[in-house]
């Protein structure tokens, strides 16, 4: 915080006493002069500074002090005492009463940070176990309710407000009454900002106060106004009974000292101070601890309070275990919990004497906390056996399936679980060594109990064991934390492979390395001159199979975002869309280039940057334009891109372009332009659809970027409210009596416009992909919009496809906002203009890839003749990437010149991904993997043991979905069945013609049920789905990672009941019980189902009765878990709340395995589950038939 500068100056002045040999009047005056100067710089009132000086001098009489007294200590104490008086109003602060309604009303100036501070205070009390809520009675400032709503949602705090009611008195009264009836303990009312000269607003403030009768009125004061806050605070106090003050923005202005002292003069106690923008940057204010902390003396009182909250007295068992060198995963989890409870690391370090408040930077602090939360989420998915095992890592290594189960439960990749286990192993090893050090846990001064040589050895062990990223967050071991090396292209620039542990042989003496892909010997680059067997670069360490390089050469290009907006929609939808687009401008970096194209019957390309006038070029929606024609009409040029910004690592200067302008230049103009957009003015005759020229608009967007920013990262974000009805790309006519095509029409070849439209959009997708441009489609309408024809636009370019009922739904709004999510470094979680190249050893050939990519037609000896998906190449273009983007790559094992593959050798594969980072940098990520060869006849046990059934299921599923795009559905199912039968015959253990003897090893046991659910999934079954819905489902399945893909195939089902904590249950009809609540996650939907008995209790209102509080908690538990998923997943799933007999219960019934149907419902009523009215076969029948076919001699 900026006040820390004041503290350092005063501390330096006080320390000057220690340098003086004799403390006399001259030394005292010099010290007081420095202290007073520091206070005046902090805008403290000169009268108060003068009074402080006089009081200190009056308290210190150097002549009368006995010679034995420590004069330095007495002077320092006198200064400390006067500084405390400077900010202490001498009035006891208000405190809320637990168990009753405490109404807190916030008042203050405009821009003082009231709304944010309301949320901080509510969050502060919520973390301490209070039931808190927020009310927005600010109807004066536009967007106030949206801000409070967003803050409250993020902090999970209930809120109340209104978009329609304009009387703040009514809103405040209704909100308080509502939350009083629900027994909330802390009810916070946010009011409009006002100035002491605004009489009408002050009168309104008095009316709100009379209506809600607050227990505490808090004046929120901006520290940046310094001494001026005294007059403002007094004005508010004269009008309403201001009982407390919260000072904000103490981290951002040097006038904070003046503000604190001025408020103290009003005799209103300061209860909290805001020290940053984050929700945790909020501290209780106590005068003595505050001054102590300010002067670097720490806040021992606050630190003790933090520690007491943790109840560390219960940790005697842990201390005993540490003495014996024992440390389990549960112990590690509990210590993480203690760290999280204490709050931000920076605040804790500031409480320790000798550490400043700026000990740890804000970015490192937030990244550390996020990392801890992720590790704790993984451990939440472990069972008691895994958490309490004395060596949990060995348990997981012996049973690898545990890693996959935990990863699925936590929603993370298996590598994240492995990383946690690696960290646990390092901590456990460190504890084991600490337990072996004599006297370490005897208490007292550790330096006396531990031998110095042992301590030095322990420090070395810690340096070796700690994760470099953790050391980086702690500010030490700078040489270890660099996981990204600056890539310099040296002698290996023309190599087939890049350096990796699994693909090279190293000669350290000659500084040479041999590539296992081409067997060529190469010199190391100059930057690697110092390598040796004991000093190896990351590329040669086995744990770093993936290395990412930052390419320093070349200019950094700005990001490009081109909005293509449909105006043929209802006013409500259009208004919601405009607000979302205006919001997105605030999320873009200042240097990003933005353009706007709108379309209805005509297409308008808007010229941005025109002051005081809206200017656009209008094109007919019935005629397509080539890139060359568009270039001539709009006067576009490519030369600007090539000429701008030559220096390395310098951001590319935005080229001169009237249609794509930097956000920082046209932010306000574009916001106004979006706000002025109106519904398409062309009249629509009754019984007809509006004429929508989507195909031409998208063609112009592709051509515009093609002419101005070829081979540069760009997003075309297309927002459509209905199908294209005219011109190239139209998918349906304008007559409403003619419905848009269905699957039945497509099967009968009766889709009049489909082939021509698909061809048009494929051509656009290929043009965009060739230039590295991404096409996103946000389709929001109740009817189909033509996604089936346009799917190639997103599938070829790696763009997003989002489908919702309206632009005014939270599904669209939240999903669109998450597109602009940022990582810990403040960069977008998106990448542009990527390419993937795969290199293989001689025994492996590449058949193809399936996912959001296009072929670069790069032939080579490693390319197989048998193509799968996008094949015939070893290089692909991936225009858009995000952290979840995944490709399925298929390989073929071949024998060179019919020679046998040498057993005991290793086959190697290297993936080289180049892309443009959202920061503008070019990066190269290299992943190298190698596996031992095994003979399929003699070593089949080794192959079985290494089988990854989850990954194999997704690879087969992607291949099946790819075939479904061009083949008949029944043919694809028969092909899938044949492959499953062959797998069972190859790896099953059975006797011929004896189905009961069939056994599968543990590594194959789940694979058949994955195939069972895949056959029933919407990826292969089009019944009851429109072509657009099928395209949407398939699009996301083809790009998501393994964990999310498995959820799509086999949804996760959790059960909530009074019989125990929530638990995962079988996706089976037997899991549907009357006294259960089920939570089903299908990726696209989050469904909560209430059993028959639970639904009756809920209708009877038991949850509202105090004696049935446990039932209320039971109802709330699945809602809280569902919100966790809804807040993080992209795209946001549909949220469904249903019950037994409800119409939407069909979504659950269609997914579960129908083990009980109307044909075998004799067990119903015996707590055995609900019958499903279906003729589909159950998993048991499917498995019995599979075993019969697998063991058959005739098969």
- Check whether 63 has a pLDDT greater than 80: no
| pLDDT, position 352 | 41
Overall pTM surpassing 0.75 (yes/no): no
| pLDDT, position 265 | 58
H-helix or E-strand spanning residue 773: strand 773-780
- Summarize pLDDT for 79-138 with one digit per residue, the tens: 777 777 777 777 788 889 988 999 999 998 887 888 889 999 998 898 888 999 999 998
Q: How many helices (H) and strands (E) does the chain have?
A: 42, 35
Q: How far is CA 881 from CA 483, 851, 1026, 1097, in A?
A: 21, 11, 28, 48
- Give the ranges where 1017-1145 is alpha helix by DSSP (H): 1027-1037, 1042-1049, 1092-1099, 1109-1128
Chain-wide mean pLDDT for the chain?
81
Please give the Cα distance from 406 to 306 (Å, whole number). Answer: 32
Residue 844 near residue 892 (C-beta atoms within 8 A): yes
| pLDDT, position 307 | 47
Per-residue confidence at 951, pLDDT binned at 50, 70, 90? very high
Per-residue confidence at 293, pLDDT binned at 50, 70, 90? low
Please give the Cα distance from 754 to 749 (Å, whole number). Answer: 9
Per-residue confidence at 1183, pLDDT binned at 50, 70, 90? very high
- Summarize pLDDT for 314-354 with one digit per residue, the tens: 455 555 655 566 778 887 877 776 666 555 545 554 444 44
What would you report as the CA-atom Rg of the chain, rounded to the nearest whole angstrom? Answer: 34
Structure tokens at 863: 């390319």
Considering the domain delimited by 102-297, tell me its CATH architecture: 3-Layer(aba) Sandwich (3.40)
> N- to C-terminal Cα distance for the chain?
76
Using DSSP, state whether 437 is helix, strand or coil: coil
H-helix or E-strand spanning residue 922: strand 922-932
Give me the helix-helix angle, 1027-1037 and 787-797, nearest 10°: 10
CATH number for the domain whose boundaries are 1013-1187: 3.40.20.10
Looking at CATH, the fold of the domain delimited by 306-474 is given as 434 Repressor (Amino-terminal Domain) (1.10.260)
User: What is the mean predicted confidence (pLDDT) over 270-298?
Assistant: 72
DSSP 1140: T
- Summarize pLDDT for 811-836 with one digit per residue, the tens: 999 999 999 998 888 889 999 999 99
- Summarize pLDDT for 965-1000 with one digit per residue, the tens: 999 999 999 999 999 999 999 999 999 999 999 999
Considering the domain delimited by 3-87, tell me its CATH architecture: Up-down Bundle (1.20)
| pLDDT, position 438 | 42
Per-residue confidence at 312, pLDDT binned at 50, 70, 90? very low
User: Under 8 Å CB-to-CB from 79, ≥6 apart: which residues?
Assistant: 10, 14, 35, 56
For domain 565-705+714-721+772-818, the question of CATH label 3.40.50.410 is answered with yes
- Summarize pLDDT for 833-849 with one digit per residue, the tens: 999 999 998 889 999 99
Of 299-303, 752-756, 1093-1097, the poorest mean pLDDT is in 299-303
Please give the Cα distance from 862 to 912 (Å, whole number). Answer: 15
User: Do 1013-1187 and 102-297 have the same topology in CATH?
Assistant: no
CA atoms within 13 A on the CB side of 1077: 27
Domain map (residue ranges) of the chain: 3-87, 102-297, 306-474, 565-705+714-721+772-818, 1013-1187
DSSP 656: P
- Summarize pLDDT for 373-403 with one digit per residue, the tens: 788 888 888 887 888 887 777 888 788 788 8
| pLDDT, position 1053 | 96
Using a 10 angstrom Cβ sphere, with 0-12 exposed, 13-18 middle and 19 or more buried, the burial of residue 809 is middle
DSSP 293: H
H-helix or E-strand spanning residue 1064: strand 1060-1064
- Check whether 460 has a pLDDT greater than 50: no
Residue 159 pairs in a beta bridge with 134
% of the chain beyond a pLDDT of 70: 78
Widest CA span of the chain, in angstroms?
115
User: What is the mean predicted confidence (pLDDT) over 181-186?
Assistant: 92
Residue 137 near residue 100 (C-beta atoms within 8 A): no
Count Cβ atoms below 10 Å from residue 1070 Cβ, excluding itself: 16
Strand 132-137 to 186-191 pairing: parallel
Please give the Cα distance from 691 to 841 (Å, whole number). Answer: 56
Please give the Cα distance from 643 to 653 (Å, whole number). Answer: 10
Please give the Cα distance from 414 to 476 (Å, whole number). Answer: 29
Please give the Cα distance from 106 to 637 (Å, whole number). Answer: 55
């Amino acid at each position: 915080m900026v006040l820390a500068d004041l503290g350092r100056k005063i501390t330096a002045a006080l320390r000057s006493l220690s340098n003086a040999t004799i403390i006399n009047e001259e030394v005292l005056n010099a010290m007081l002069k420095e202290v007073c100067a520091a206070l005046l710089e902090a805008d403290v009132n000169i009268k108060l500074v003068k009074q402080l000086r006089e009081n200190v001098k009056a308290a210190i009489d150097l002549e009368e002090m006995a010679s034995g007294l420590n004069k330095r200590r007495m002077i320092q104490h006198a200064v400390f005492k006067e500084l405390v008086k400077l900010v202490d109003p001498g009035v006891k602060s208000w405190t809320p009463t637990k168990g009753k309604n405490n109404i807190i009303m916030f008042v203050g100036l405009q821009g003082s940070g009231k709304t944010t501070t309301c949320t901080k205070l509510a969050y502060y009390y919520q973390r301490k176990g209070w039931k808190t809520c927020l009310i927005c009675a600010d109807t004066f400032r536009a967007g106030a309710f949206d801000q409070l709503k967003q803050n409250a949602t993020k902090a999970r705090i209930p809120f109340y407000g209104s978009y329609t009611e304009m009387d703040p008195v009514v809103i405040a009264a209704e909100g308080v009454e509502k939350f009083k009836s629900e027994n909330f303990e802390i009810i916070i009312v946010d009011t409009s900002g006002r100035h002491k000269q605004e009489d009408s607003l002050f009168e309104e403030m008095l009316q709100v106060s009379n209506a809600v009768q607050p227990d505490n009125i808090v004046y929120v004061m901006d520290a940046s106004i310094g001494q001026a806050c005294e007059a403002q605070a007094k004005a508010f106090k004269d009008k309403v009974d201001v009982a407390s003050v919260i000072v904000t923005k103490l981290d951002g202005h040097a006038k904070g000292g003046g503000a604190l002292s001025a408020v103290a003069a009003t005799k209103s106690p300061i209860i909290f101070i805001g020290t940053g923008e984050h929700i945790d940057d909020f501290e209780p204010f106590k005068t003595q601890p505050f001054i102590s902390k300010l002067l670097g003396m720490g806040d021992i009182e606050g630190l003790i309070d933090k520690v007491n909250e943790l109840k560390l007295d219960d940790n005697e068992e842990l201390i005993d275990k540490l003495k014996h060198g024992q440390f389990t995963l549960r112990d590690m989890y509990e210590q993480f919990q203690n760290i999280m409870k204490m709050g931000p690391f920076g605040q804790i370090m500031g409480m320790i004497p000798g550490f400043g408040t700026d000990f740890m930077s804000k970015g490192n602090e937030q990244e550390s906390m996020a990392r801890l939360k992720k590790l704790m989420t993984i451990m939440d998915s472990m069972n008691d056996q895994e958490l309490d095992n004395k060596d949990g890592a060995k348990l997981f290594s012996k049973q690898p399936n545990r890693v996959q189960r935990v990863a699925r439960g936590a929603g993370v990749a298996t590598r994240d679980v492995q990383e946690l286990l690696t960290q646990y192993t390092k901590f456990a090893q460190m504890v084991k060594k600490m337990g072996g050090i004599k006297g370490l846990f005897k208490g007292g001064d550790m330096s006396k109990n531990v031998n110095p040589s042992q301590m030095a050895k322990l420090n070395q062990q810690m340096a070796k064991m700690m994760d470099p990223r953790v050391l980086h967050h702690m500010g030490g071991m700078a040489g270890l934390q660099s996981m990204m090396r600056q890539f310099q292209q040296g002698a290996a620039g023309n190599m087939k492979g890049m350096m990796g542990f699994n693909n090279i042989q190293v000669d350290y003496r000659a500084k040479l390395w041999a590539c296992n892909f081409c067997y060529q010997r190469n010199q190391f680059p100059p930057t690697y001159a110092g390598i040796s067997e004991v000093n190896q670069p990351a590329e040669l360490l086995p744990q770093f199979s993936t290395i990412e390089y930052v390419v320093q050469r070349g200019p950094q290009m700005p990001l490009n975002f081109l909005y293509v907006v449909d105006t043929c929609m209802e006013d409500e939808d259009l208004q919601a869309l405009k607000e979302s687009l205006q919001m997105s401008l605030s999320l873009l970096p200042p240097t990003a280039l933005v353009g706007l194209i709108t379309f209805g019957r005509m297409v308008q390309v808007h010229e941005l940057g025109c002051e005081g006038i809206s200017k656009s070029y209008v094109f007919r929606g019935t005629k397509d334009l080539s890139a060359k024609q568009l270039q001539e009409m709009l006067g576009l040029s490519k030369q600007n891109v090539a000429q701008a910004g030559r220096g390395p690592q310098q951001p590319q200067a935005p080229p001169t372009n009237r249609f794509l302008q930097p956000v920082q230049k046209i932010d306000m103009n574009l916001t106004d332009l979006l706000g002025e957009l109106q519904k398409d003015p062309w009249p629509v005759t009754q019984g007809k659809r509006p004429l929508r020229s989507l195909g031409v608009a998208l063609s112009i967007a592709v051509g515009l970027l093609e002419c101005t920013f070829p081979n540069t990262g760009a997003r075309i974000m297309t927002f459509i409210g209905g199908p294209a009805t005219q011109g190239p790309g139209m998918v349906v006519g304008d007559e409403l009596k003619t419905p848009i095509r269905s699957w039945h029409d497509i099967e009968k070849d009766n889709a009049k416009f489909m082939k021509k439209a698909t061809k048009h959009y494929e051509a656009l997708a290929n043009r965009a992909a060739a230039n590295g441009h991404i096409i996103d489609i946000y389709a929001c309408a109740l009817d189909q919009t033509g996604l089936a024809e346009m799917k190639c636009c997103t599938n070829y370019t790696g763009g997003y496809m989002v489908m919702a009922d309206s632009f005014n739904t939270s599904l669209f709004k939240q999903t669109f906002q998450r597109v602009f999510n940022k990582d810990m470094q403040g960069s977008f979680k998106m990448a542009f203009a990527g390419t993937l190249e795969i290199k293989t050893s001689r025994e492996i050939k590449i058949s193809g890839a399936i996912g959001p990519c296009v072929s670069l037609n790069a032939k080579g000896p490693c390319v197989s003749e048998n193509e799968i998906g996008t094949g015939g190449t070893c290089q692909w273009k991936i225009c858009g990437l995000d952290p979840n983007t995944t490709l399925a790559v298929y390989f073929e094992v071949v024998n060179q010149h019919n020679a046998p593959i040498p057993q005991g050798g290793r086959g190697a594969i290297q993936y080289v991904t180049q892309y443009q980072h959202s920061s503008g940098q070019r990066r190269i990520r290299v992943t190298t993997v190698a596996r031992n060869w095994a003979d399929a006849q003699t070593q089949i046990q080794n192959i079985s043991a290494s089988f990854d059934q989850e990954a194999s299921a997704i690879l087969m599923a992607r291949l099946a979905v790819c075939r479904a795009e061009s083949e008949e559905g029944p043919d694809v199912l028969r092909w899938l069945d044949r492959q499953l039968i062959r797998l069972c015959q190859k790896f099953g253990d059975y006797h011929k013609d004896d189905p009961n003897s069939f056994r599968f090893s543990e590594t194959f046991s789940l694979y058949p049920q994955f195939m069972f659910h895949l056959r029933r999934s919407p990826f292969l079954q089009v019944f009851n789905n429109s072509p657009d819905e099928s395209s949407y489902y398939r699009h996301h399945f083809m790009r998501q990672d393994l964990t999310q893909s498995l959820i799509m195939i086999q949804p996760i089902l959790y059960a909530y009941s009074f019989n125990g904590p929530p638990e995962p249950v079988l996706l089976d009809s037997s899991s549907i019980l009357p006294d259960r609540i089920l939570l089903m996650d299908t990726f696209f939907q989050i469904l909560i189902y209430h059993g028959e008995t639970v639904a009756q209790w809920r209708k009877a209102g038991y949850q509202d009765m105090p004696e049935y509080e446990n039932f209320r908690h039971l109802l709330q538990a699945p809602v809280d878990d569902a919100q966790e998923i809804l807040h993080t997943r992209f795209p946001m799933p549909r949220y469904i709340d249903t019950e037994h007999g409800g119409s939407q219960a069909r979504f659950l019934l269609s997914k579960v395995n129908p083990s009980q149907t109307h044909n075998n419902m004799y067990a119903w009523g015996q707590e055995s589950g609900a019958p499903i009215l279906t003729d589909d076969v159950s998993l048991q029948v499917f498995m019995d038939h599979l075993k019969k076919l697998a063991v058959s001699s005739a098969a």
